Amino acid sequence: MPFDTTIAALKSEYGDRCATSDAVRDHHANGEAYHAPVRPDAVLFPGSTEEVAQIMRICAAGNCPIVPYGTGTSLEGHVVPLRGGVSLDMSRMDAILAVHPEDLDAVVQPGVTRRRLNEDLRDTGLFFPVDPGADASMGGMAATRASGTNAVRYGTMRENVLAVEAVMADGQIIRAGTRARKSSAGYDLTKLLVGSEGTLGIITELTLRLYGQPEAVASGVCTFDSVKGAVDAVILTIQSGLPVARIEFLDELQIRAVNNYSKLSLAEKPTLFLEFHGTDASVAEQSERFGEIAAEFGGGAFDWATKAEDRNRLWRARHDAYYAVKALRPGSHGYVTDACVPISRLAEAILETKKDIAESGMLAPVVGHVGDGNFHLAILIDPQDRDELKAAEALAHRIAERALEMGGTVTGEHGVGMGKMKYMAAEHGHGYEIMRQIKRTLDPQNLLNPGKIVDLN
Amino acid sequence: MPFDTTIAALKSEYGDRCATSDAVRDHHANGEAYHAPVRPDAVLFPGSTEEVAQIMRICAAGNCPIVPYGTGTSLEGHVVPLRGGVSLDMSRMDAILAVHPEDLDAVVQPGVTRRRLNEDLRDTGLFFPVDPGADASMGGMAATRASGTNAVRYGTMRENVLAVEAVMADGQIIRAGTRARKSSAGYDLTKLLVGSEGTLGIITELTLRLYGQPEAVASGVCTFDSVKGAVDAVILTIQSGLPVARIEFLDELQIRAVNNYSKLSLAEKPTLFLEFHGTDASVAEQSERFGEIAAEFGGGAFDWATKAEDRNRLWRARHDAYYAVKALRPGSHGYVTDACVPISRLAEAILETKKDIAESGMLAPVVGHVGDGNFHLAILIDPQDRDELKAAEALAHRIAERALEMGGTVTGEHGVGMGKMKYMAAEHGHGYEIMRQIKRTLDPQNLLNPGKIVDLN
């Protein structure tokens, strides 16, 4: 084993918190993505930033790769330790260090998950809006520049991480950004680390932007006769500047999956899940305006979920969409992909995608944070069937290529991981070489999540 | 002259667009900042991205520095060509290349100024919100991560530049970002270039986020008996989540300056200029709520500027604040500084600053985009008087140090330039070394605006 000496050194320093059992290593061999798992040589459970820095230095001395791991819910193979080494499980660094209601921010360790943060915040009247489907960790969400259903109104991790502390490849600790709302003081290292997928540094603390819980919330469901009608309603909603808090598209197959999995009884039609935030008056005004837009595009009556309980059930169902899809075909894997296009191209992008799905013969519901121009596919495949895997790859490839042709991006929120690396040169041109130069400079030994985003070997 | 050969090569290629007259060189020796001017050896006026790339390559061959220049309105000496070489005046690359109302974005060349962009957009029903005091260019605003009065609601250049095209030090052209609203596809090179002050690349095209012109706008003025009352009203406004579009503080001396310069007749008291955007109903609701908050803190009646003409006069006066201040003491220079702190510390920061000003005996009005925790000082000095310069430096130094102590930043929007470099190590710690590594990698010859943000020599 190439890293024996390093692992032995870590074991002697960290004891039980350096796990080498098969079970723990298997658990850290992949996330939820369809990618071949690779076992790390050891899984480390650091308890502090100083320990992360020490682990980094020990790994550097032994040329041992180190792959940060949050909740293992990533969808593009980000956490697969491709070259073995250490999987750095951040779950024990899960303290909420400070909440500053007066400044609308919170300082947290990376292992805090989004649900726990919001449970903790409930009594303060504040909330953190970024909500990928899974109950992901803040560190993982920042590393993958995650977003979710609220991004159309509140932004993604890009907009909502004010500052980070990180351990760099040289074992040094940096603090990027401050608690001030804005700054022009030099290069934006916070934004460079957000979305870097653990390849430039290990995030050990985050300062997050919080928002006041809206006084009034209205959620509801609106069904359409056609996909085009639903998406065109979204486009006009965004173009008209309606400050919708959430606007989610689910196609008829996704609705069937959600009905089964989450015990709902929605009409199996192209559907929008919506939410409006504001005062009583402004929420009423927004809902009315949306109703007018929906009616223009053949939308049915807008079904309100007025009780908090019903609202939570609706959004929980939306967040569980991926699990619901997998349940459509027991034993299947979901080959998941996402793309994001300028909003004006969204209807075309989704309709062409639906055509591709039909031609492929695959089971693949379409769902999306359509207010951002972002949509997802979970293509259900039998993991043993090479032909199905190939067909899924071909389908995902068409979606990525089309997104680029439309002036969009091959991933709106899932990240690059292993799955999207092949498109980086096409999307970024010479910019990809600039990314490679940055990676080479900040991680000259190529130890931080090697083989992701850019490959130096 | 060290760059004779390079300038000769540029002259033969660009003729009149490679200016070497004293007048043109003097004009490009500094911006509006109080910093010693340095003449460039030549001023180049490129007409296209390809020309910028060619100029970059010619400069690189001759080891000749190159300093991008927009409108010359920067306040920290960003455009001073410290080591001579080429000042690259982008004013002729001033085309609005595309407006996509359906996607709420525009693609522009860097020489387009904010006023011209908004004049061009007027008929589309859209606007671009970022508005520093000067009629700056989009390239310069992006390079300095500029903000302005609307940032509290619409964000700064950080949030509103979706994509850039840039010429890098190797003479290659990159396109960072896309027209999609979000992306997780690799390192955020757009955000790295925004705020890099021409030290990492030369921005040659920008894709900007646009917003629908609000249906209803209400602007007004509210005076307070004390600075503390005014700032506390701001803090509560922000904390309560009121989506105010603009909330600007001007102290009593700034009001006197504005009255004189812009022919207004406001009470010479601590004052807030405000604006609300929305529908008729939401604007009315916001104004009413603000009125309640203001009353709690001793705010006077809220004077409305209902006519567009009166509103424009008010905001023009705010934007001209710096020129108004200089007119308070004819022949003086304004030693300008800004800082940004967490909103909860803002009253303390401004009150301590006012005390420092009083003790210094200098004439220095305080004005600020207080909704962001950002405030400015223009300290009036006689440029010939060394003692006054020293006193101004000491005053600015106290403000910067205090901002850091309060968990803030030494510049909220003016940038680093020459003036704030001395604080970079204190603000960023080891992160400053990371910035240096990035600079060294992307500009190994140190030709792009050398001596700004980080110094490699």
Mean pLDDT, residues B265-293 taken together: 93
Q: CA of B371 to nearest chain A CA: how many angstroms apart? A: 9
- The reported pLDDT for the residue numbered B267 is 95
Judge whether A4-91 and A94-212 match in fold: no
Give the pLDDT confidence of B358-374 residue by residue, as tens digits: 999 999 999 999 999 99
Residue A280: other Cβ atoms inside 10 A: 11
**Do residue B340 and residue A180 have CB atoms under 8 angstroms apart?**
yes
Statement: residue A54 has pLDDT above 70: yes
The C-alpha atoms of residue A165 and residue A158 are separated, in whole angstroms, by: 15
The C-alpha atoms of residue A325 and residue A327 are separated, in whole angstroms, by: 5
Give the pLDDT confidence of B303-347 residue by residue, as tens digits: 887 788 889 999 999 999 989 999 999 989 899 999 999 999 999
Answer whether A127 touches B (CB < 8 Å): no
- The reported pLDDT for the residue numbered B365 is 96
**Buried/exposed B136-147: b ≥16 CB within 10 Å, e otherwise:** bbbbbbbbbbbb
Mean pLDDT, residues A254-260 taken together: 96
B281, two tokens: 């109903």
- The reported pLDDT for the residue numbered A442 is 98
Q: CA of B387 to nearest chain A CA: how many angstroms apart? A: 28
DSSP, collapsed to helix, strand or coil, labels residue B117 as helix
Statement: residue A457 has pLDDT above 80: no
| Closest by Cβ to B104, choosing from A101, A239, A409 | A239
Residue A395: other Cβ atoms inside 10 A: 20
Q: B33 or B78: which carries more pLDDT confidence?
A: B78
Measure CA of the first residue to CA of the last residue in chain A; give whole Å.
20
Q: What is the ipTM of this complex?
A: 0.96
Statement: residue B116 has pLDDT above 70: yes
Statement: residue A84 has pLDDT above 80: yes
- The reported pLDDT for the residue numbered A33 is 79
* 3-state helix/strand/coil string of chain A: CCCHHHHHHHHHHHHHHEECCHHHHHHCCCCCCCCCCCCCCEEECCCCHHHHHHHHHHHHHCCCCEEEECCCCCCCCCCCCCCCCEEEEHHHCCCEEEEECCCCEEEECCCCEHHHHHHHHHHHCEECCCCCCCCCEHHHHHHCCCCCCCHHHHCCHHHHEEEEEEEECCCCEEEECCCCCCCCCCCCHHHHHCCCCCCCEEEEEEEEECEECCCEEEEEEEEECCHHHHHHHHHHHHHCCCCCCEEEEECHHHHHHHHHHHCCCCCCCCEEEEEEEECHHHHHHHHHHHHHHHHHCCEEEEEEECCHHHHHHHHHHHHCHHHHHHHHCCCCEEEEEEEECCHHHHHHHHHHHHHHHHHHCCECCEEECHHHCEEEEEEEECCCCHHHHHHHHHHHHHHHHHHHHCCCECCCCCCCCCCCHHHHHHHHCHHHHHHHHHHHHHCCCCCECCCCCCCCC
Instruction: Name the architecture of domain A94-212.
Output: 2-Layer Sandwich (3.30)
**Do residue B241 and residue A187 have CB atoms under 8 angstroms apart?**
no
Mean pLDDT of all residues in chain A? 95
Residues of B in contact with A340 (CB under 8 A): 180-183
Statement: residue B218 has pLDDT above 70: yes
Statement: residue B441 has pLDDT above 70: yes
Per-residue confidence band for A308, with pLDDT thresholds at 50, 70 and 90: confident
Residues of A in contact with B168 (CB under 8 A): 430, 434
Number of A–B residue contacts, CB under 8 Å = 281
Statement: residue B144 has pLDDT above 90: yes
CB-CB contact of B147 with A182 (8 Å): yes
Q: CA of B1 to nearest chain A CA: how many angstroms apart? A: 32
Residues 209-238 in B contacting A (C-alpha not used; CB under 8 Å) = 211-212, 235, 238
* Interface-testing mutation among B181, B190, B215, with chain A (most A C-beta atoms within 10 A): B181
Per-residue confidence band for A176, with pLDDT thresholds at 50, 70 and 90: very high
Q: CA of A330 to nearest chain B CA: how many angstroms apart? A: 30
Per-residue confidence band for A383, with pLDDT thresholds at 50, 70 and 90: confident
Q: B304 or B13: which carries more pLDDT confidence?
A: B13
Residues of B in contact with A449 (CB under 8 A): none
DSSP B363: B
Topology adopted by domain A329-443:
Alpha-Beta Plaits (3.30.70)
The C-alpha atoms of residue B243 and residue A214 are separated, in whole angstroms, by: 12
Measure CA of the first residue to CA of the last residue in chain B; give whole Å.
20
**Buried/exposed A34-44: b ≥16 CB within 10 Å, e otherwise:** bbebbbbbbbb
Share of chain B above pLDDT 70, in %: 100
Mean pLDDT of all residues in chain B? 95
DSSP B371: G
B422, two tokens: 């001395």
Instruction: Tokens 């769902």: give the residue.
Output: A367
Give the pLDDT confidence of A202-214 residue by residue, as tens digits: 999 999 999 999 9
**Do residue B179 and residue A408 have CB atoms under 8 angstroms apart?**
yes
The C-alpha atoms of residue B259 and residue B264 are separated, in whole angstroms, by: 4
A244, two tokens: 């919708």
Share of chain A above pLDDT 90, in %: 91
Residue B456 has φ and ψ, to the nearest 5°, of: -90, -10
Mean pLDDT, residues B190-213 taken together: 97
**Do residue A183 and residue B442 have CB atoms under 8 angstroms apart?**
no
- The reported pLDDT for the residue numbered B76 is 93
Residues 6+ apart with CB under 8 A from B139: B68, B70, B90, B93, B109, B110, B111, B203, B204, B206
3.30.43.10, 3.40.1080.10, 3.30.360.10, 3.30.450.20: CATH of B4-91: 3.30.43.10
CATH 3.30.70.2740 corresponds to the domain B329-405: yes
Statement: residue B239 has pLDDT above 90: no
* Interface-testing mutation among A130, A174, A181, A202, with chain B (most B C-beta atoms within 10 A): A181
CB-CB contact of B343 with A162 (8 Å): no
Statement: residue A446 has pLDDT above 70: yes
Residues 35-94 in B contacting A (C-alpha not used; CB under 8 Å) = none
Statement: residue A306 has pLDDT above 80: no
Statement: residue A138 has pLDDT above 90: yes
> What are the boundaries of each domain within chain B?
4-91, 94-212, 216-321, 329-405
Per-residue confidence band for A1, with pLDDT thresholds at 50, 70 and 90: low
- The reported pLDDT for the residue numbered A307 is 83
The C-alpha atoms of residue B291 and residue A391 are separated, in whole angstroms, by: 62
CB-CB contact of B257 with B365 (8 Å): yes
CB-CB contact of B442 with B429 (8 Å): no
B97, two tokens: 């290349």
Give the pLDDT confidence of A92-121 residue by residue, as tens digits: 999 999 999 999 999 999 999 999 999 999
B5, two tokens: 């050969």
Share of chain B above pLDDT 90, in %: 91
Mean pLDDT, residues B409-434 taken together: 97
DSSP, collapsed to helix, strand or coil, labels residue B376 as strand
Statement: residue B105 has pLDDT above 90: yes
Mean pLDDT, residues B176-198 taken together: 98
- The reported pLDDT for the residue numbered A240 is 87
Statement: residue B139 has pLDDT above 90: yes
B341, two tokens: 């702190």
The C-alpha atoms of residue A328 and residue A337 are separated, in whole angstroms, by: 18
Statement: residue B457 has pLDDT above 80: no
Statement: residue A197 has pLDDT above 90: yes
Per-residue confidence band for A136, with pLDDT thresholds at 50, 70 and 90: very high
Instruction: Tokens 């990371």: give the residue.
Output: B434
CATH 3.40.50.300 corresponds to the domain B216-321: no
Statement: residue A34 has pLDDT above 90: no
- The reported pLDDT for the residue numbered B1 is 65
B300, two tokens: 């006077």
Q: What angle do CA A300, A305, A311 make, to 5 degrees?
A: 130
